Amino acid sequence: MDVNTTTTIPSVDTKSQSYTQHQLHSENHEHSHAHLPSKTILIAIAAATTVTVLLTIFFVLFLLRRQKSSNKNGACKDKNPRGLHDTSSRLIASTKLSISSSPDVKGGCLQGGNLSRSPAAPKFKGVQVFTYKEIEVATNGFSEAHVIGNGGFGLMYRGVLSDGTLAAIKLLRREGKQGERAFRVEVDLLSRLHSPYLVELLGYCADQNHRLLIFEYLPHGTLHQHLHSPKNQSQSLDWWARMRIALDCARALEFMHEHHAVSPVIHRDFKSSNVLLDQNFRAKVSDFGLAKMGSEKMNGQVSTRVLGTTGYLAPE
């Protein structure tokens, strides 16, 4: 007897299958959407960082430009784009110095022109500007009784200014362009170099053809006088005083060579007669008429001309 075996295939519930597929599709869709916010956040962070960096750069550039403009406004008005740093070099290198003209104060700079003194005394970087008449009164008509020194530069007078200040007044001899150069260099340098080891410039006079420099008065004269003059033997310097003077001179030279506000300054006439002593026998270096800036060039060439006093020149 044949037995017919019938295999029954269970029917698949279409509704259940459809629901399962829909659920899987929803899970995949939700999974893909779960990654979307993180990508968006990364893009937003990157964009914000880029914008922040750019704004910072623009802000720094703005500050630098503003500072540069401020420095230009505070600089000298004589069309000198490099500022006062090169003032002395231009004065020295200039071959168009007018001996009949006088340095004047315009915009804080030493320029050619006739000096007119107003009731409020003009100043050049804190240095007083005097008329010849005022200096004549201060020295009692340049009396010989007021002469305290005589050198190649001219005569040194002791005088009393209108405010009662005791001063040493140097009357410069006019010897062509070299004399004018020495005057301008000394005013320019000492109006900017301030140190307890350098003599202080109180003012100057450039009235017509007269050139005078007014310094603080140092009562004990020059070091040379104490070392070589018989009349000062009663005030002979002991070894401790000499050591202090030597140290003061060394500090003065160090200041001139290392000062960062201007180029290094080379004195070129450093000797005992250009070292002055104050009331405490502390030394101050003076006479910068032959000084030069370390970076000074003339017509594009470094000046190698030997200047100074024989016997005091540096060996090199």
Tens digit of each residue's pLDDT (9 = 90 or more) over 66-101 = 777 766 555 444 444 343 334 333 433 333 333 333
H or E element, residue 17: helix 14-74
306 CB-near residues (< 8 Å, 6+ apart): 313
Q: Which pLDDT belongs to residue 219?
A: 94
Count the domains in the chain.
1
CA separation for the pair 108, 245 (Å, rounded): 35
Residue 21 maps to a domain: no
In a domain, 40, yes or no: no
Beta strands 127-130 and 201-205 are: parallel
Q: Measured between alpha carbons, how far apart are the two ends of the chain, in Å?
A: 139
Q: Is residue 28 part of a domain?
A: no
User: Averaged over 258-265, what is the pLDDT?
Assistant: 76
Query: Would you say 193 and 148 are in contact if contact means Cβ atoms under 8 Å apart?
Result: no
Tell me the mean pLDDT in the region 143-161: 90
Residue 312 lies in a domain: no
Q: Enter the pTM of the model.
A: 0.58
- Buried/exposed 183-222: b ≥16 CB within 10 Å, e otherwise: bbbbbbbbbbbeeebbbbbbbbbbbeebbbbbbbbbebbb
Predicted pLDDT of residue 206: 92
Q: At residue 286, does pLDDT exceed 60? A: yes
User: For residue 101, what are the contacts with CB-CB under 8 A and spacing of at least 6?
Assistant: 112, 113, 114
Q: Which residue has the tokens 């990508």?
A: 39
Q: Among 29-43, 72-86, 119-133, 228-242, which range has the highest average pLDDT?
A: 228-242
Q: What is the mean pLDDT of residues 294-313?
A: 52
Cβ atoms of 198 and 186 within 8 Å: the answer is no
CA torsion 184→205→267→225, rounded to 10°? 160
Q: Give the domain extent around 290.
A: 83-302
Q: Is residue 136 part of a domain?
A: yes
- Report the C-alpha gap between 109 and 190 in whole angstroms: 13
The CATH number for 245's domain is 1.10.510.10
Between 39-48, 94-103, 204-213, the lowest mean confidence (pLDDT) is in 94-103
The better pLDDT of the pair 213, 17 is held by: 213
Which residues are designated catalytic? 269
Asked whether residue 313 is assigned to any structural domain, the reply reads: no
Question: What tokens were used for 30?
Answer: 């939700």
Residue 2 lies in a domain: no
Locus of tokens 């340049």: 142
In a domain, 61, yes or no: no
